[in-house]
Chain A
């Protein structure tokens, strides 16, 4: 059909001549270009436009346009969710259950998809009350900018496909050659991972490939000893909560030994003075460990004498229980009759006692087993029916591997969580062998000492990025689940293995299948199917069964006789050196973690370094003082080692010590590089196959050099001997700060011996007649509907581990300031743990006192701030307004507790702190808690009692109860409270008569620090009660008097 013809106008329709003339022209009327450019008309531009002019104009225009375009406008990308995920509410945190590599079940707090805080998993058995000190800091490792970001080949970035292909080929080669292949790892806690590894090794011929486990700080001897005495290689589960008498020999189970956080709550459960059910804790050790600091009775003994004292203890116990004694034991005792005392009490508490030993010597451990066996502790306090699985390393296997390396038999080595070049006694063997191997693969996060040498680096995920599971004991399982997308181009080690096994399944499914099989195996009838079971476990984070019991093990008497002969007598002459772990740094695995380095060691209170701890007496004799550099020469060591000295009370005579975990390679990261220090693993020796952490034949010579140490507490007591000469004991004002008593006094019937009970009555009496200048702002609790926050810290429970400090670090974005600043006493910790000694320097009593803002009702800081930057909330919080603060520092001066911290520099962007402060790099910033301001330079800051958490809790409570007067429950309110494995920190609402805190707040044991200043703090401390007999108490007192008289003369 023909389309109709459209006409534009009458003219076209009529085809008029004008139209015809015009129709091909674009513009029907002329554009007055000429007029415009010439100066004929009125409105002309006034110049004749020739080509040049045009070009000029155009040129100018273009240039102008270009120049104006040169300015780079900042582009901000903010892409909102098109569809909001159900679990993502902006400003509301999500919690996921996971497990740290050390096997601590944790809850991971995430905000908009990034983990920012770790807390113990309350549903779990081991981690119910919190996680250990380094555990809290592992979250920072996730955002470590020095992590390996991609697979590497010969230290050059590569690609997974390439790496996989090449490794696959090499594995094929190895299969042909039949050369030995080894997977070397630290204890693998995950059954699934274990399965994967086994599957991987299974593809080789029998005997060709095997899996070797070792731990940097080895407890192999305990497992070996049990093999020897009970015929099964296992790590018992220790039940401190059942023990009435604990005798620990050089075993720092509260600080560093195996699972400190688990042992801590188990230990503290039975340290409650109120019920009078308080365990008695003996500590026989050479160093002053955290555990020793908490012990009731402590005996300093030279390292080489510990074995002997155990032998003697064995015989004394044997006599008491009428068992055969060990022949040929040189008689030895600690402090006159220490061992008899211990033996008697152990036997009295038969079946409810516990002997522990931290020495990695199979013979000694067998003796320990023997003692525990004699005392019927097996099945009670020492559980081998449900052995622990936290440690599997075997020194023997490692020794074998080392031998094979020497002989050059191993051609394929896979290193998973193992860093033998740095931390094993066979360092040199590995150093030599690895470069020559056909195939050496490391799964490390860092270019650590061993990884440097490996051909291939297949970086593992951080555990917060990976799937997995852990098994703490035969009856305890927990899961690991990713809480963030992998940050780098890393891959889970299990996936790598699966790939190289040729197994196509990805590890997540693999894991699920395994858990389904657990479900089948256990016949869990309260779940419909495996999926439901898995989902629940994933939500809870743990799967725990009742501990079974009843299995009886026959004890091998013969082995003991053998073992006893293997124990060497005391080294009488010469100094000995102990290689110990620090509570925070441990074996140095987290050597690049600034939080851990900034945390002062609870005992020495030194941060950022390792050093040679030296007994006071020795230092006095040889004129050594802190920070002197001494050269330490040791038998069998090529050249002497130069170390700075730290004079430490409480060390056994002739004993010095140096901490492990320092002196990491520069490639580990910028922090490790800054720290430096000396790698004490170089001093490891072998005793049989056992790795030994003690050495004899030490001689020390002073050099002229000195080395600065970042010491954060220079005074250990308020008793200042120099002044003592003038005014005597008057000057010991410690009572105003620390209060302690002993159990018999405290439980004196009717409280007649309990000074504190009387104090309370006196105080109540006094309170009646108190005159004050003005009314309190806080009304009578009965009539007051408001919350009144308060805290009680039980000095009896606090072990001083410092987990709370790290947790506070993470929760409140506390900056890391580095060694120099810490040395200038400018560490920014909102919460510090003061450590005080009393008594003599040979064997002092130790008290730990967590000290943070006391939130005083009559706060001296508030009165003096000229701009009202710090004021009191009607809930009793002493609030700090950073924006208002002008930084006069008057408040800090006027704070009797000296808990206020000033931002001397702008730590968040000052170059000086680039290396140490993680908040200065893109990645590290991700760990910042969005609820808390990052403080500006020149601003005062201090503990806020985690006000952001309080607000959140209040809102939750109100929403849940749908009432504006609802009050939150007092669980996990502040970070320190939730972090404390010992439950030493109780926090809550004082106006609520039923809250735990209000009960304890007016407890007879509660006191406020510096009461006489009448700042009326909202924090009370509870008197420390030591479980000592009156005689022991009097002995100690006599010594104290002696010390003071001595200084007076």
Chain B
């Protein structure tokens, strides 16, 4: 669906942060900020909840761990018990390395895949661009036009914080 955005473009991340602080106190809801690199501390200014991806990863790890243990245990324990070098049929110490590796494998790949799903990025996706330099050296604060009560205040804040351009754009999101 199409949305009408008011864009404030900056060249200095510091200005962006200050502007965001102002918006927060003024209670203006910022749709998103587009930046060429992560702006630390932006989460609090934009009230972004801390992601739970880490927990997901932990669960994937647990899965990997149990897959390894169950597979090896059942293969050596019941499917195909063998006398290998006089060792017992279920030699737990021998299982450690593979168990560890599988745990890591599941956890690592799990979290990355989940990330792309959550972030709605996928191969060949058409990127949403407020400004074609936002991946280079321009920082864009995007505000949903329809949600703005007082347009003057918003532009004022942007202007005060040295936005070098304030414009509108209709974007499909």
Give A contacts to B, CB under 8 Å. 774-777, 856-863, 868, 871-874, 1016
Give B contacts to A, CB under 8 Å. 82-88, 91
Q: Are A774's CB and B85's CB within 8 A? A: no
Q: List 21 A-B contacts (CB under 8 A).
A: A774-B86, A774-B91, A776-B86, A777-B83, A856-B86, A857-B86, A858-B85, A858-B86, A858-B87, A859-B86, A861-B85, A862-B85, A863-B84, A863-B85, A863-B87, A868-B84, A871-B82, A872-B83, A872-B85, A874-B83, A1016-B86
A858 to B91: give the CA distance in the assembly, Å. 14
A873 to B88: give the CA distance in the assembly, Å. 14
A862 to B85: give the CA distance in the assembly, Å. 5
Chain A nearest CB from B82 CB (Å) reads: 5
A856 to B83: give the CA distance in the assembly, Å. 12
Residue in chain A with minimal CB distance to B84: A862
Chain A nearest CB from B85 CB (Å) reads: 4
Which residue of B83, B86, B87 has the most chain A CB atoms within 10 A of its CB atom? B86
Residue in chain B with minimal CB distance to A864: B85
A861 to B87: give the CA distance in the assembly, Å. 12
Chain B nearest CB from A867 CB (Å) reads: 12
Question: How many pairs of A and B residues are in contact by the CB < 8 Å rule?
Answer: 36
Which residue of B82, B85, B87 has the most chain A CB atoms within 10 A of its CB atom? B85
In order of increasing CB-CB distance, the 4 nearest A-B pairs are A863-B85, A872-B83, A858-B86, A862-B85
A859 to B85: give the CA distance in the assembly, Å. 4
A775 to B84: give the CA distance in the assembly, Å. 13
Residue in chain B with minimal CB distance to A1016: B86
Chain A nearest CB from B110 CB (Å) reads: 27
Across the interface, which residues of B come within 8 angstroms of A1016, CB to CB? 86
Across the interface, which residues of A come within 8 angstroms of B87, CB to CB? 774, 858, 863
Across the interface, which residues of B come within 8 angstroms of A776, CB to CB? 86
Across the interface, which residues of B come within 8 angstroms of A775, CB to CB? 88
A908 to B100: give the CA distance in the assembly, Å. 44
Across the interface, which residues of B come within 8 angstroms of A862, CB to CB? 83-85
Q: Are B88's CB and A872's CB within 8 A? A: no
A868 to B87: give the CA distance in the assembly, Å. 13
Chain A nearest CB from B16 CB (Å) reads: 56
Chain A nearest CB from B93 CB (Å) reads: 9
Chain B nearest CB from A393 CB (Å) reads: 57
Chain B nearest CB from A47 CB (Å) reads: 56
Chain B nearest CB from A893 CB (Å) reads: 15
Chain B nearest CB from A1018 CB (Å) reads: 11
Across the interface, which residues of A come within 8 angstroms of B83, CB to CB? 777, 862, 871-874
Residue in chain A with minimal CB distance to B86: A858
Across the interface, which residues of A come within 8 angstroms of B88, CB to CB? 774-775
Chain A nearest CB from B21 CB (Å) reads: 60
Chain B nearest CB from A901 CB (Å) reads: 20
Across the interface, which residues of B come within 8 angstroms of A868, CB to CB? 82, 84
A878 to B156: give the CA distance in the assembly, Å. 86
A350 to B29: give the CA distance in the assembly, Å. 123
A886 to B160: give the CA distance in the assembly, Å. 73
A623 to B157: give the CA distance in the assembly, Å. 99
A695 to B27: give the CA distance in the assembly, Å. 118
A873 to B83: give the CA distance in the assembly, Å. 7
A871 to B85: give the CA distance in the assembly, Å. 7
Across the interface, which residues of B come within 8 angstroms of A858, CB to CB? 85-87
Across the interface, which residues of B come within 8 angstroms of A859, CB to CB? 85-86
A610 to B79: give the CA distance in the assembly, Å. 56
Residue in chain A with minimal CB distance to B91: A774
Chain B nearest CB from A387 CB (Å) reads: 57
A106 to B167: give the CA distance in the assembly, Å. 108
A861 to B86: give the CA distance in the assembly, Å. 11
A656 to B87: give the CA distance in the assembly, Å. 54
A39 to B137: give the CA distance in the assembly, Å. 81
A1010 to B164: give the CA distance in the assembly, Å. 83
Q: Are B86's CB and A871's CB within 8 A? A: no
Across the interface, which residues of B come within 8 angstroms of A872, CB to CB? 82-86
Chain A nearest CB from B123 CB (Å) reads: 35
Q: Are B86's CB and A860's CB within 8 A? A: no
Chain A nearest CB from B151 CB (Å) reads: 70
Chain A nearest CB from B75 CB (Å) reads: 11
Across the interface, which residues of A come within 8 angstroms of B86, CB to CB? 774, 776-777, 856-859, 872, 1016
A868 to B82: give the CA distance in the assembly, Å. 9
